[in-house]
Structure 1
Amino acid sequence: MFSKIGQLIFDNEAVAKTSDFTMGLEIEMQRVDDTGHLSQEPYPSAIGDEKTNPWITNDFLETMSEVVTPAASHALDAMHYLYAINNVLRSALAPGELLWPLSMPPKLPKDKSTIQTAKMGPVKEAYFKEFIKRHGFSKGTPCGAHINLSIDDHIIDLVLKNFPERFKNRIEVQNYLYTVLAQGFMRYRWLITYLFGASPIAEANYFDKEDELPHPIRSIRQSSYGFGTRFSGCFVDVQKYVKRIEEGLKQGVLIADHDFHSPVRFKGTKDFRDLPKKGVQYLELRMLDLDPSSSVGVRTGTLRFIRLLSSYFIMHPALKADDVDQVLGKADEMNEDVSVELPTDQCKYQNKARAFIKSLERFANQIQLGPEYQEILEDLEDRVENPKTTPSAKLLSYVENNSLEKYALRRAKRYQEAALESIYQFKGFEDDAPMSAEDLKRELFYGNWEVQ
């Protein structure tokens, strides 16, 4: 059953458009040499300065390249950007360098002090140093696919116009709608971990001997063994979200606000404390492992599924304020259960997953989405019924001597060769001046392709 806002959106559009949400992508990948070690090469000089290039930068390690796309209105357009910028990065790598296609890092040296953290200025470098002191070096090395999701202005205007007694201004509408989305993604994070988890094992020296896993799991990165700080946020509303982070900072649990490594984060202001009064501009979704079957770490179908989830969440009733903490706390426990399961085992919550996918199928039919969405849901339904078809389970067939190194290098070399065969000479990053999204589009596509 639609919420009142959901019914309003449905009645005014008849067919829900996927353009109601725009997406920007952030894809992290480690630079390695052709033997599977972290690269010793510096940030590629052909792509400018890592501190000023907004589209190809570094995160945590000097070898952790991060490709950032401008926002696009369609999943296919976002992928066009991603492929193009990924190819630019690949063309700038030193001879023999590759991009590691897995979320978990390649084998690490026993003496991790020999690895260079990213040269992102004194403030960021001090943060990295404190992060390592608190959490250990390995916890900062996993890579992932982040999706920046924003609601189209016409939805915000539509809601404000039709609910003047409920919302005083656009900011209130924005903050409410983004809270609804955040609650939905946090509530069903466990399902995303099941469907897309792809980090079943770690390479040498990621874990200390006493901490090694007893068996492969669905997603190290999305489990308690994975990335970052174990600090629970509050998603009752934007004000309480900010207050919770402030409490973490005062208690010394968080080093800085960006030390809040939640699977979902509210974004849009330089200072997070301004979010309640200036408004959330987009959600940052951080729950996807890299997909090693794609040269860019994510597939178009996955983005379409995320967009389908967004439509579903925004058009259905939000959690009651008094229930949010309890429901999302339970969801965190479910995600841990799912993430540490043996990838080939039936999911503990298979019945819940099956029921939710059926609800999404009915929803997609109700709002008359195209056949590409039906195909995606059929594939995901098969993953629910047969865990051996999930990404993490598929990876297990490539494990040799407790390692995925051979598989990862084979993929990395194939992707690198394909990129070098397709690229053209790109010179847009040769000076250190930041390049705008319009400049980037013009340089990448010569005006032959119009991104939406």
Structure 2
Amino acid sequence: MSQPDSIPNFNFPTWIEASHLMGMLRGIERESLRMQSNGYLSQSDHPIALGSALTHPHITTDYSEALMEFITPPLSSISEALTYLHNIHSVVNQHLDEGEKLWPLSMPCMLDDEEDKIRLAEYGSSNIGRFKTLYRRGLGVRYGRRMQTISGVHYNVSFPEELFAELQQYETDDVYKAMSPQDYRSHRYLGLIRNFIRFTPLVAYLIGSSPSVCKCFMTGREHHLLPLVRGTLFAPYATALRMGRFGYQNSAQKQLGIHYNSLEAYVEELQKAVHSPYPEFSRLGLNDAQGEALQINDHVLQIENEYYSLVRPKQVPQGDETPSQALANRGIAYVELRAVDVNPYTPIGIDEQTAAFLEVLALYCLLKDSPELWETEQAQIDRNHAEVVNRGRAPNATIIEGEQEYSLADWATQHLQAMQPVAALFDQMSQQQLYSSALQLMQSRVDDVDNTPSSQVIQDTLKYGGTWAFGSHLAHLHQDSYQQHTLNPEIITYFDQLAQSSLQQQHQLEQDHHIQFETYLEKFR
């Protein structure tokens, strides 16, 4: 097996200063299921006191009416983002139904045997609201509703324009030097995305927290998982089953050939998928026996958001723009890192060490050489990803790059060491040692597999006698944290006003539409 020093080196640009990172922004999206006191998924409506899930900027729902999503705005420090996220959790906790709690794990538990008991998220009677619910009905018809109850964390990062301007000044290729600032920014973000895809096995090993699943999640599915304890299945060395074939999967998307080598090609390939019929989905039909719509269309993707990926280029849409149109018009504004499991040990699903590591990794991916990524290498990455997701804690877990094979530990150590100057730059910018200490923590997980979150989850699942008991214990602890978290009067007033204004916005949308939903849908189809 090759030694770690044979892994290609990273040359840190010595001209970069901490000032080049001033103005960096990060935002966090966290999903969590509302669970009843008996453990089952909540069947109640989204709490009206929290406002409209359709129009609220920070508190909404994802697939299910019970699957809440909390969204921070872009903020200038990790501590601000985490505090904002904690505020949201505390506000939500105040308005949950009696006995309800937020489920702390990425993988759901205590799902009913009947999938239809998983309520689709509802957004009112406006055309856009009904459209969003229909999209979710289509997802359930295509992939099953259980898969859609998985929770995750999305970490959004954007780097300052000054950094891209400096990077462009040091380019030696005339093509890159001649690009507009917008095109150059998109070019560098695509490089970040390709490298992040290459490093998803590292993310799965270091912060993966879903090595086991509640038995109910696998109802009706063939699998290779083993019983861990009553009601819980696992893979002995797994790290992040959420990111494997039992998590978010879409077989139809394998044929798409969507690449991140140029923004123009990415946009074109994504839009093509939204307009390409897929025979298997055509056989499902567009409407049920009663004439009710089953799915938006029979295409590979109903809408662009259906494309499952572990990282996404993002631009804020304006007006009626689709995500890809926004990208085509204004380039990439930020990157959404989606390969992040919920950390069950923190009340808000993510801690500052994980956030700091993700930011270091993001800048490392931005600065590191990033050749174009095609099918041959992608197949190798898929192999590495499956290896780490399913058996990353095995002593003989390996990573393959090109013609070389490395032990996972050697490969991870080499890259964590290469990230040290990046972490030091962040420390200098933030005037604290958070980023370097985050890398030290990650290295300790490489040095001793028992320090990984996935190993801790297995140990505690055994300790408490199953996924439900373990998750319930954490849910009670986290609820105490929400109740003890201090919300000043200004924050309470702010969220009360947001709830009211969001309800007013939804009401206005419901008054404004002048065409029947069936006509609205036909126009889209």
Tell me the TM-score range normalised by the shorter chain: 0.7 to 0.9
Higher mean C-alpha deviation, range 199-208 or range 283-292:
199-208
Out of 445, 464, 475, which is 1:412 matched to?
475
Q: Alpha-carbon deviation of 1:210?
A: 4.7
After the TM superposition, which of the residue ranges 292-301 and 405-414 deviates more from structure 2?
A: 405-414
- Matched residue pairs, number? 429
Correspondence for 1:119: 122
How much does 1:124 deviate?
1.5
**Matching of residue 156 in structure 1 with residue 164 in structure 2:** yes
Q: CA-to-partner distance for each residue in 1:206-241, whole Å, 9 max, x for gaps?
A: 113552423432211111110142435311121121
Q: Which residue of 1 aligns with 2:411?
A: 352
CA distance in 1, matches of 2:410, 2:132: 44
User: C-alpha offsets along residues 333-375 of structure 1, whole Å, 9 cap, x if unaligned?
Assistant: 2111110117465633222112111211254457875532222
- Within-5 A mapping of 1:154-233: 154-159=162-167, 166-212=177-223, 213-214=225-226, 215-216=234-235, 217-230=238-251, 231=253, 233=258
8 A contact 2:205–2:392 mirrored in 1: no
Measure, in 1, the Cα distance between the counterparts of 2:37 and 2:83: 27
| Separation in 2, partners of 1:69, 1:429 | 14
- What is the SS of the residue equivalent to 2:131? helix
Q: Say whether 1:381 aligns with 2:443.
A: yes
Mapped contact 2:273–2:300 kept (Cα < 8 A): yes
Specify the alignment match of 2:454 in structure 1. 392
Which residue of 2 is the match for residue 139 of structure 1?
147
CA contact (8 A) 2:211 2:458 kept: yes
How many percent identity over aligned positions? 23
Shift in Å, 1:277: 3.6
- Taking the aligned partners of 2:35 and 2:396, their CA distance within structure 1 comes to 35
Q: CA deviation at 1:63?
A: 0.4
SS in 1 for 2:243: coil
User: Which ranges in structure 2 are unaligned for 5 or more consecutive residues?
Assistant: 1-8, 124-128, 227-233, 278-298, 399-407, 505-525
Distance 2:303 2:322 in 1: 11
C-alpha displacement of 1:325: 4.1
Q: Write the distance in 2 (CA, Å) between the matches of 1:365 and 1:115.
A: 46
For residues 140 and 192 of structure 2, the distance between their equivalents in structure 1, rounded to whole angstroms, comes to 32
Separation in 1 of the partners of 2:50 and 2:198?
A: 39
The CA deviation at 1:159 is 4.2
Question: Quick one: distance in 2 between partners of 1:413 and 1:223?
Answer: 29
CA-to-partner distance for each residue in 1:169-211, whole Å, 9 max, x for gaps?
1221121111111112111011000111111122132113552
Structure 2 distance, partners of 1:287, 1:19, is: 26
Amino acid at match of 1:229: N
Cα separation, partners in 2 of 1:367 and 1:135, compared to 1, 3 Å: closer
Name 1:444's counterpart in structure 2.
none
- How do residues 99-110 of structure 1 correspond to structure 2 at under 5 angstroms? 99-110=102-113
Whether the 8 Å CA contact 2:239–2:392 is kept in 1: the answer is yes
Q: Secondary structure at the match of 1:41?
A: coil
Change (3 A) 1:35 1:355: same
Give the TM-score normalised by the residue count of structure 1.
0.88
The verdict on how the C-alpha distance between 1:113 and 1:411 changes in structure 2, with shifts beyond 3 A counting, is same
1:77 — aligned with what?
80
Where 2:69 maps in the other structure, the secondary structure is: strand
1:27-46 → structure 2 map (5 Å cutoff): 27-46=30-49
- Once the 2 structures are TM-superposed, how far is the Cα of residue 422 of structure 1 from its aligned partner? 2.9
- The CA deviation string for residues 64-94 of structure 1, in whole angstroms up to 9 with x for no partner, is 0100000012111111111111111111112
From 62, 86, 90, the counterpart of 1:87 = 90
CA offsets 1:245-266 (integer angstroms, 9 cap, x no match):
2332314322221110100111
Counterpart amino acid of residue 297 in structure 1: G
Residue in structure 1 matched with residue 390 of structure 2 by the alignment: 340
Matches within 5 A, 1:44-55: 44-55=47-58
Conservation of the 8 A alpha-carbon contact between 2:363 and 2:422: no
Q: Using the TM superposition, name which of 133-142 and 399-408 deviates more.
A: 399-408
Kindly state the Cα deviation for residue 135 of structure 1 after the two structures are TM-superposed.
Answer: 0.8
Contact 1:159-1:173 at 8 Å conserved across structures: no
Equivalents in 2 of 1:174, 1:342: separation in Å?
34
Cα distance, 1:161–1:64 mapped onto 2, change above 3 Å:
same
The residue type equivalent to 1:279 in the other structure is G
Shift of 1:45: 1.5
The answer as to 2:393 corresponding to 1:330 is no
Contact 1:196 1:288 in 2 (8 A): yes
| Residue type at the aligned position of 2:370 | A
From 414, 420, 423, the equivalent of 1:361 is 420
Task: Give yes or no for the alignment of 1:248 onto 2:273.
Answer: yes
Structure 2 partner of 1:263: 310
Structure 1 segments (4+ residues) deviating >4 Å: 159-165, 342-346, 365-370
CA distance change for structure 1 residues 47 and 423 in 2, over 3 Å: closer, same or farther? farther
**Distance (whole Å) between structure 2 residues aligned to residue 325 and residue 276 of structure 1:** 24
Q: Closer, same or farther in 2 for the Cα pair 1:434/1:122, shift >3 Å? A: closer
Unaligned runs of 5+ in 1: 436-452
Q: Is the 8 A contact 1:178 1:280 kept in 2?
A: yes
Normalising by structure 2, we get a TM-score of 0.76
- In structure 2, the residue matched to 1:429 is 498
For the 8 Å contact 1:14–1:367, the answer to whether it is kept is: no
| Alpha-carbon separation, structure 1, partners of 2:214 and 2:395 | 22
User: Is the 2:196–2:311 Cα contact (8 Å) retained in structure 1?
Assistant: yes
**CA distance 1:136–1:183, shift in 2 (3 Å):** same
What is the letter of the counterpart of residue 183 of structure 2? Answer: E
**Equivalent-residue separation in structure 2 for 1:130 and 1:146 (angstroms):** 23
1:111 shift after superposition = 0.9
Q: Is the 8 Å Cα contact of residues 34 and 98 (structure 1) preserved in structure 2?
A: yes
Amino acid across the alignment from 1:431: Q
User: Residues 237 and 263 of structure 1: is their aligned pair in 2 closer, same or farther, counting only changes over 3 Å?
Assistant: same
Q: SS of the residue aligned with 2:185?
A: helix
In 2, the alpha carbon distance for the partners of 1:28 and 1:368 equals: 29
Q: Deviations over 1:304-324 (max 9, x none)?
A: 1111112222222221x3x54
- The question of whether the paired residues in 1 share the 8 Å contact of 2:192 and 2:365 is answered with yes
Corresponding residue SS for 2:80: helix
The one-letter code sitting in structure 2 at the alignment partner of 1:130 is G
